[in-house]
Structure 1
Amino acid sequence: MEWQMAGGRRGSYLYKRPGSQNWWIRFQYSGRLAEKLGKVVQISLETPDRAQAELEAIPYIYAHKGMLLLAKGADDGTLRVEKRAQQYEPGREHRTESGERVIATPDQLIFMDEAGNILRMEPNGPAYELSVPSSAQDQRELSALRPRKKNDPDVAILETWLEHENIRPAIEREARTVFDTFKKLTNGKSFANATREDGRSLAKHFFDSGNKSATVQKKIGHLRAAVNLAIDENKLKFNPFSGVVAAKDDAQDRPPLDDDDMKIMRDNLENLDPEERLLWMLCATTGMRRGEAWDIDCEFIEKGVRCIRIGTKTPQSDRRIPLPAAVIPYLPAKIEGPLFAGSPKNVGRELIRAMRRFGIADQRKVLHSLRHRAQDRLRAEGYPEDIRWAILGHEDKTVADGYGKGFPMLKLKPWIEKIGF
């Protein structure tokens, strides 16, 4: 990220401090700005991701460039100060730079929300406007960096989708982060005005951040789904996030855990933290995804078989499965609430570290490798395809949902026991 502005220094503003993983931003000043701000101003951007740091840096750079232009105008005599009788022209409605509604009278400013409720009132007193001549390049750079306005109508589109699909908290947080990233990348462009080029730019940002195709597809899929819902409700006509993720053969080869690996973990089960041990047993004996263990907060009994429901975040993964016998000793007598206090990320990370300590050194072998192992075990037993979907869930929505819901648990129980651990 490099810029050049009259009166400023050319070069990258971003750097990392020794011993810190996060990116920082640094500005250097001279003359009157140095007297007020100091010769060097350093601010942590609180992220180790370079691409994200560049986005977080934008408002700081916008303010920095504006100060440089004003200081230059003050030094060379081109700075102009104009006084207006009122901050806003009386007798009409205005929008502030942050997007707020404001009604101006000769004496007062009445700030309102979108429903017309009065938020606050302020005097409509005199205002001072600073201006300085600037080059076309300076104006383009400042325009590109101008912070986006609030009261974005797309927020309502996102909120409607989150509520309509009953999105779980972890996915909601990811969707909001993707939304904010899109707005920063496009300087607040609305979904209605966005193009597929904007969608491709978002995909490129995630690829540049080191994400694989499947992860990029998942992230952008949140916005694509929200916009599709808005299209169904006649709020939008075009989806800028459809078909924007380039097809890449970049999926990492995840070998399944072999018999030696499983023996290592069996021998070290008691050396695991209770939550790590439970997560291992659930994933090892059922092939469920790590996050699906956090779906479990209750159980039901069918023909004497203890059963759970997992994969509720998407229709294609939503399923009911019987609990394997091997995992029962690690569960409460009856599941009546969440099984984990720690987050999926933290418990999963500690479990991976334990695997490495115990001697599973292959970095490609992770918790998800248990899912591959479960598929191999079922395949070796000659499972019917519909049994596989019922136990493991579909990966794609192209296959009809509803699998598993029609299978008696007594029919699935012998098959899930074949996975073992």
Structure 2
Amino acid sequence: MASFRDGPLTMKLQYCRKKGNLLFFRRRVPLDLREQLGKDYFVASLGTADPREALPLIRAWLKKTDKEWGELRSPTRAGTLQRARQLLAEYGVDPVAPAEGPLWAFEDVLAETQGDRDVLPEPHRTALQVLQGVREFTLEDAIDEYVAARPGDATRAERALRYLKSYLGGDRDIRKLRRVDVNGFVQHLLGQDMSTTTVQRYLTPLKAAFGRAIRENELKCENVFARVEIPQMGKDKVDREVFTLDQYRALDAALNAHPQDTLRSILLVVSETGARLAEIVGLAKADLKLDATPPHIALKPHPWRPLKTPGSTRKIPLTDRARDSLRAAKERTSDHVHLYPQYSTAEGTRTDSVSAALVKWVRTREGLKDTRLGNHSLRHGMKDLLRSIKCPAEAADQIIGHATPGMGANYGEGYPLEMLYAWIIAANAKKTP
């Protein structure tokens, strides 16, 4: 544990050691894993000498080591496969083309490892299955690897997997899945009264997970989720309602009458900025520039919450009301990284839960009952508010993170933040009676 002076106070950082001018994360390896890992301590440089910068990094390393050590104690199929491949690589054997490597070296290791036992231990057993070509690569394997690479997509990907496994009657090797299975799955979802756009949302992570699994594991099969046709796609679309000025005023009255909490803070900021719900739910405290001139959010992707498009990385100007709400949210939590830790953690964001709770709340407020207004309606409403004050379309797109059509939009740095701030203030002023 390292100690640091901060004026009259002394700070102590657990799992931290100072060496030279840098701080290092240092954690004792559990006794049951020391032989497996070949060391008593795990050490990693934090790349800083500032204890305040080190604290969130220490938390991140704690989560990472917890996850890796948990995997060693109770390995998932994807984790076991990864360890098996690493084992093969240590002996110069390519799991994709084993005949080209020194198989005799690995066979000797297998003989020594098995000894008098009837069953090989892991990961040797999986490594042998890989070499023999009998190791299945299942739907769960594909989703596990995809979620590990894209934790922000975990909720939707895992829900899509549950639907698919339910339809198929269980897990299956992805190399044995056929196009007829996928087309049947689409019909099955449509038969559950899902809209065509909802079905497409569930197919998207499956397509991405299959593509990644085939590419990264060099599987010799096609992505059966590529270019899937959904019958009558988009023809069942119901136009989304957009907030009118009277409905904005009803929403503001409801927000003013309700004590500020996490959900109401998120809703207020979405209403005042036109940002996507996930963008606000996944904010880090470091994204907030509340004392800048003008105050704004420096929105960027995070491991727990990617952004929808490259153009979504932007600076979002804040009204006084949105700034004060964000400041209060920042002061309400002791989490050093996440602004809304109830719904955003290192593992991902629970945007769907926030959306469901807010939609239910909004549609039960006076002046908003019996509507189909939702969180995304606020983005469309902000676009209308910006149009009403004659804000240029490119500037409006820059504020709410829409792609502006045309080649010219790709040149230059866009409108200055001060101009965007003036437009967002004027747009929100339209809501005032």
| TM-score scaled by length of structure 2 | 0.55
1:44-69 deviations in whole A, cap 9, x for unaligned?
xxxxxxxxxxxxxxxxxxxxxxxxxx
Deviation at 1:361, TM superposition (A): 1.8
Amino acid at match of 1:352: V
Distance 1:117 1:161, change over 3 A: closer
1:272-310, Cα deviation, whole Å (9 max, x unpaired):
242233122111111122222212123254962333216
Structure 1 residues 264 and 329: alpha-carbon distance in aligned structure 2, compared to 1, 3 A threshold: same
1:336-375 to 2 correspondence within 5 Å?
Answer: 337-340=337-340, 341=342, 344-355=351-362, 356-375=364-383
Deviation at 1:357, TM superposition (A): 3.4
- When structure 1 is superposed on structure 2, of 275-284 and 330-339 the one drifting more is 330-339
Change (3 A) 1:176 1:401: farther
Greater Rg by CA: 1
Counterpart for residue 306 of structure 1:
295
Identity of aligned residues (%): 22
CA distance in 1, matches of 2:269, 2:187: 36
Give the AA of the match of 1:219.
Y
Instruction: Note closer, same or farther for the CA distance 1:192–1:277 as it changes in structure 2 (3 Å cut).
Output: same
**Residue 235 to residue 402, structure 1, CA distance change in 2 (3 Å):** farther
User: Which residue identity does 1:161 align to in structure 2?
Assistant: Y
User: How many residues of Structure 1 are paired with residues of Structure 2 in the alignment?
Assistant: 286
| CA deviation after TM superposition for structure 1 residue 237, in Å | 4.2
Query: What is the match of residue 137 of structure 1?
Result: none
Residues 181, 404 of structure 1: alpha-carbon distance in 2 compared, 3 angstrom cutoff? farther
2:227 is the alignment partner of 1:240:
no
C-alpha distance 111-310 of structure 1, shift in aligned 2 (>3 A): same
Match of 1:326?
A: 321
Q: Distance in 2 between matches of 1:416 and 1:150?
A: 57
For the structure 1 residues 332 and 322, does the alpha-carbon distance in structure 2 shift closer, same or farther, using more than 3 Å as the test?
Answer: same
Q: Distance in 2 between matches of 1:393 and 1:236?
A: 39
- TM-score w.r.t. length of structure 1: 0.57
Q: Give ranges in structure 1 of 5+ residues lacking alignment.
A: 1-104, 119-148
The separation in 2 between residues aligned to 1:406 and 1:115, in whole angstroms, is 56
Tell me, in whole angstroms, the C-alpha distance in 2 between the residues paired with 1:230 and 1:405: 37
Between 1:315-324 and 1:279-288, the stretch displaced more is 315-324
Partner residue of 2:110?
none
Q: Cα–Cα, structure 1 residues 276 and 162, in superposed 2: closer, same or farther, change >3 Å?
A: closer
Instruction: Tell which deviates more after alignment, 335-344 or 364-373.
Output: 335-344
Q: Which amino acid aligns with 1:380?
A: S
Q: Tell me which residue corresponds to 1:196.
A: 179
Is 1:293 the counterpart of 2:277? The answer is: no
Q: Report SS of the residue matched to 2:119.
A: strand
Residues 163 and 408 of structure 1: CA distance in aligned 2, closer, same or farther (over 3 Å): farther
Q: State the AA in 2 paired with 1:203.
A: V
Q: Counterpart of 2:270?
A: 283
Amino acid at match of 1:240: V
Output the amino acid matched with 2:278: G
Q: Which is strand-richer, 1 or 2?
A: 1
Q: Give the alignment of 1:5-404 within 5 angstroms.
A: 109-110=118-119, 112-116=121-125, 152-164=137-149, 166-168=150-152, 171-186=153-168, 187-233=170-216, 234-246=218-230, 247-273=233-259, 274-297=261-284, 298-301=286-289, 304-308=293-297, 309=299, 312-316=306-310, 318-320=312-314, 321-332=316-327, 335=330, 337-340=337-340, 341=342, 344-355=351-362, 356-394=364-402
- Over 3 Å counting, the alpha-carbon distance change for 1:161 and 1:406 in structure 2 is farther
C-alpha separation in 2, matches of 1:401 and 1:232: 33
Say if 1:192 and 1:303 are closer, same or farther in 2 by CA, change over 3 A.
same
Amino acid at match of 1:328: R
Give 1:410's aligned residue: 418
Of Structure 1 and Structure 2, which has the larger fraction of its residues in helix? Answer: 2
Contact 1:295 1:310 in 2 (8 A): no
1:301-351 per-residue CA deviation (whole Å, 9 max, x = no partner) reads: 496233321673433463222223331121227956433325544544443
Consecutive unaligned residues of structure 2, counting only runs of 5 or more, are: 1-113, 128-133, 331-335, 344-349
Distance 1:396 1:381, change over 3 A: closer
AA of the residue aligned to 1:325: D
After TM superposition, give the deviation of residue 263 of structure 1 in Å: 1.8
> Is the CA contact (8 Å cut-off) linking 1:316 and 1:399 kept in structure 2?
no
Deviation (angstroms), 1:367: 2.5
Change (3 A) 1:278 1:333: closer
Deviation readout 1:359-379 (Å, 9 max, x if unpaired): 312331222221211121223
Q: Once structures 1 and 2 are overlaid, which stretch shifts more, 395-404 or 237-246?
A: 395-404
Deviations 1:176-207 (A, max 9, x none): 23124323423533322323322222222332
Structure 2: distance between partners of 1:400 and 1:231:
37
SS of 2:295 mapped into structure 1: strand
